Amino acid sequence: KKLALDCAGKTPLIYTSHLFSPLAYKWKTSFNENAKNIIWCNEFPEFNHNEFIGWTSHPIDKPFCVINLRSNLDNPRINQRLDLTDRLLSGFRPQAHNLVLVGQSYIEQVINGAILGDMASIYLAFLNGVDPTPVALVEKFKQELVK
């Protein structure tokens, strides 16, 4: 609920390791479809090669909600990169929400993370004043394709 409240009226940006990039993509599709909200995701270390620089030329007051999906299963260098990135981009972007994935195994962390993303996206849908279930534009697109 808190995450959805913090993301209301903003564009969420999900960052994580390569290991959890499928989960970040799941969050992206859930926020797109349920909350009718645009969202981007990227993975570390790729982020530090290009997107990292993009933050330095934009004012901090841009409407973004930065979310780092973190795990004890990640390589320690990834967590070092996340920490260093947060420190170096302080003042250039909103402070990141560091969400530590819960679970003893990779599959537990992915399932728990997927549920959290779904719940946040559904709550954000209500905050956005939209029904999370219909995907009218997708249905219209499919109908147009068959013509």
142 is catalytic: yes
Q: Which of 26, 28, 33, 43 is catalytic?
A: 33
Instruction: Spell 32-53 as b/e; 16+ CB within 10 A means b.
Output: ebbbbbebebbbbeebeeeebe
Q: Which of 2, 49, 144, 147 is catalytic?
A: 49
49 is catalytic: yes
> Using alpha carbons only, how large is the chain's radius of gyration in Å?
16
Q: Which of 1, 58, 140, 142 is catalytic?
A: 142
Q: How far apart are the first and last CA of the chain?
A: 42
Eight-state DSSP code of residue 57: G
- Residues assigned a catalytic role: 33, 49, 142
